[in-house]
Amino acid sequence: STRLGETMDALGNAASAARRARTMLLLVWTLLNAVSGLKADDGGMVEELVTEKEAEESHRQDSVNLLTFISLLTLTILTIWLFKHRRVRFLHETGLAMIYGLLVGVILRYGIPATSYHNKTPPSCSLKEGPSSTLLLNISGKFFEYTLKGEINFREIHNVEQNDMLRKVTFDPEVFFNILLPPIIFHAGYSLKKRHFFRNLGSIITYAFLGTAVSCFVIGNLMYGVVKLMRAVGQLTEKFYYTDCLFFGAIISATDPVTVLAIFNELHADGDLYALLFGESVMNDAVAIVLSSSIVAYQPAGANTHMFDASAFFKSVGIFLGIFSGSFVMGAATGVVTALVTKFTKLHCFPLLETALFFLMSWSTFLLAEACGFTGVVAVLFCGITQAHYTSNNLSEESTKRTKQLFEVLHFLAENFIFSYMGLALFTFQKHIFSPIFIIGAFVAIFIGRALNIYPLSFLLNLGRRDKIRGNFQHMMMFAGLRGAMAFALAIRDTATSARQMMFTTTLLIVFFTVWVFGGGTTPMLSWLHIRVGVDPDQDLDGNQDEGQSKTKQESAWLFRLWYTFDHNYLKPILTHSGPPLTSTLPSYCGPLASCLTSPRAYENHEQLRDPDTDLIHNDADLTFTFGDTAITANGASTSRADATGGLGWSTNGKRSGSTSEEALERELDSREQELLSRGTRLVFPMEDHI
């Protein structure tokens, strides 16, 4: 009863905090209006002062807007705490952020009188030339510089004036792409659970590329049918091309099962399913963003626009491949540069400098890619993966923690900001077009699109996988096709035409529905589908052995082994302090180069491990050794082998004798992941690896 009392207390506190915050918000708003009202009365001032005051007013308004969002986020945090405290799982923090956003949106829309602080219509002037980014205004010899904000519909001019307040809460859509998405995507890459990710890499790539393409085309074609239907029943008079439908298919194919994954994490659900879902959603964000820009770039030649044109189509495919691979290379390159810098300097003595450098280099990937015309968000994703794989081996323990925490906070804030903005946008966005047929059509289309993505691809993948993706996993993946931040950001990026506005409204509703309904239904769904929860990440693999299930087959074992050997023997030693010394892996004629590139620490590690088995790792990845290796626990600094008999017992298991080398690779992957934590030595600590 004490706990209940505490909870009730806390609930009361949070509720009163919510009330306080809302009251404060309204107060500020009212105050501001009063102040602006006063200012508007000062008619006869000199021009300069008016401009200054307007600038001041606009700054103040910006502050209030940001303050609104910060209050929203604060409220969300407090309520999240309450939910976590009470172990409420039916509503995730993102869903909550949306609800608070909706509430504030309603208040802004209906609770505050729609007065504008300058009640005059803005002055207008005419030109014959086309619009340019800069315009000079000549007022009796004085020149003022204006910058283009965008085209505005004539009938909206008055509307805009009336809803000035609502309009002010609107952020530049590019803010989402340039400020809020990068930390989210980077964090996703940086916190990949490498072990399960690499184990399922083939499937993840299949779902992400092929699956997203399938989903995009299925949804696009279905929506084209819906658009034709709408035109037939007279619900649509504006332009809505086939490419628009495909564009919608692309943006709505970006899944974001953040809610589902949070619950997976909390319940310690199956690691492979987690990896499949997480990997797919991370990679398909990248695919969707590039796909949508390729579709926009699809410009058939001649008068017959928006029809199929083979050359334009192949150009689009080329653009897709070019942008994707360019962004990938850029992200990986920055990661590699960071790894080299952190390896060859002794920066790890100064965690602050190291963290700052890491942050700046990761950010520069984004800017570099954007500056070169690639996609920053995609580059940032691969940068994150590279940083996690190489650079984090070179960081000091302190910096590893710092960078992880820094990006965790940034990710958390950005994600909740986007979701509360979504809630707000439903009521404050000015150009919604609610078209019931389109919305219902879209819901049906994304369902069919998801189904035609998951089930057929799973069937195909299962032909190659020894460890089949079972039916309940497939249903769970189908269920976890939530839409989130990326779909929203892509949809809000361009809302100029009515087709795009309709898409935006529909996307918003799809996000709401999937996050609330599917997000909330995750826990029941998990138990209904009999997906095992409470898996101890450390016991995961051992558990599998006991179950006698083979989860260790690589789909592309040959390719994977090639890459693994190359990475382990050359890339890791060149880029990090870990791995075998290059002198032992490179041919002897590369001697001087090898000894120059090899970190002194690598020799130490090597010495420590020197024994008859060591060479087997490099050549044939002997099972006994690697199993013994991972079984070493953190009890004391001893490097003695533990449980060698267990290892032998396992290797004598005849059933899996054919897959020994793949399993050994995996063990290695596993230990490499944890090596990150014990850096330098080969001691493996049994730690939890939450994202």
Between residue 115 and residue 174, which ones bind a second copy under the rule CB under 8 A?
118, 120, 122-154, 157, 174
Burial class of residue 436 (count of CB atoms within 10 Å of its CB; 0-12, 13-18, 19+)? exposed
DSSP H or E segment with residue 16:
helix 2-41
Does the CA dihedral 144-161-44-38 come out positive or negative? negative
Task: Give the count of residues interacting with a second copy (CB under 8 A).
Answer: 103
Q: Considering beta carbons, is residue 32 or 590 the nearer one to a second copy?
A: 32
CA gap 472, 487 in Å, rounded: 26
Stretch that binds a second copy, among 78-86, 446-454, 633-641, 644-652 (CB under 8 A): 78-86
| Smallest separation (angstroms) from a second copy to the CB of 403 | 9
Q: Considering beta carbons, is residue 313 or 344 the nearer one to a second copy?
A: 344
Q: Considering beta carbons, is residue 31 or 648 the nearer one to a second copy?
A: 31
Stretch that binds a second copy, among 67-75, 263-271, 319-327, 541-549 (CB under 8 A): 67-75
Residues 323-362 that bind a second copy (CB under 8 A): 341, 344-347, 349-350, 352-353, 355-357, 359-361
Does residue 10 bind a second copy (CB under 8 A)?
Answer: yes
Q: Considering beta carbons, is residue 397 or 613 the nearer one to a second copy?
A: 397
**φ/ψ of residue 578, rounded to 5:** -100, -175
Q: How far apart are the first and last CA of the chain?
A: 34
Does residue 409 bind a second copy (CB under 8 A)?
Answer: yes
Q: Considering beta carbons, is residue 156 or 547 the nearer one to a second copy?
A: 156
| Smallest separation (angstroms) from a second copy to the CB of 84 | 6
Does residue 6 bind a second copy (CB under 8 A)?
Answer: yes
Does residue 402 bind a second copy (CB under 8 A)?
Answer: yes
Q: From residue 523, how far is each of 46, 96, 469 by CA, in Å?
A: 64, 17, 20
Q: Considering beta carbons, is residue 135 or 648 the nearer one to a second copy?
A: 135
- Alpha-carbon torsion, ordered 86, 88, 93, 96, to 10 deg: -100
Does the CA dihedral 147-150-153-157 come out positive or negative? negative
Does residue 60 bind a second copy (CB under 8 A)?
Answer: yes
Within 298-431, residue ranges assigned H as helices are 310-344, 351-371, 376-386, 392-394, 397-428
**φ/ψ of residue 483, rounded to 5:** -110, 145
CA gap 190, 184 in Å, rounded: 10
CB 211 within 8 Å of CB 453: yes
Does residue 506 bind a second copy (CB under 8 A)?
Answer: no
| Coil/strand/helix, residue 134 | strand
Name the residue among 447, 485, 653 with its Cα closest to residue 94.
485
Does residue 546 bind a second copy (CB under 8 A)?
Answer: no
| Smallest separation (angstroms) from a second copy to the CB of 62 | 8
Q: Considering beta carbons, is residue 594 or 669 the nearer one to a second copy?
A: 594
Name the residue among 565, 575, 563, 199 with its Cα closest to residue 387.
575
Does residue 83 bind a second copy (CB under 8 A)?
Answer: no
Three-class SS of 235-265: CCCCCCCHHHHHHHHHHHCCECCHHHHHHHH
CA gap 35, 455 in Å, rounded: 60
Does residue 404 bind a second copy (CB under 8 A)?
Answer: no
Q: Considering beta carbons, is residue 126 or 304 the nearer one to a second copy?
A: 126
Q: Of 19, 30, 37, 84, which one interacts with a second copy (CB under 8 A)? A: 84
Does residue 607 bind a second copy (CB under 8 A)?
Answer: no
Does residue 406 bind a second copy (CB under 8 A)?
Answer: yes
Q: Considering beta carbons, is residue 157 or 321 the nearer one to a second copy?
A: 157
The alpha carbon of residue 51 and the mean position of all alpha carbons in its chain are separated, in whole angstroms, by 41
Q: Of 15, 26, 34, 66, which one interacts with a second copy (CB under 8 A)? A: 66
Q: Considering beta carbons, is residue 55 or 321 the nearer one to a second copy?
A: 55
Residues 18-57 that bind a second copy (CB under 8 A): 28, 31-32, 35, 47-48, 50-51, 54-55
Does residue 14 bind a second copy (CB under 8 A)?
Answer: yes
| Coil/strand/helix, residue 169 | coil
Residues 631-690 that bind a second copy (CB under 8 A): none
Residues 364-393 that bind a second copy (CB under 8 A): 364, 367-368, 370-373, 376
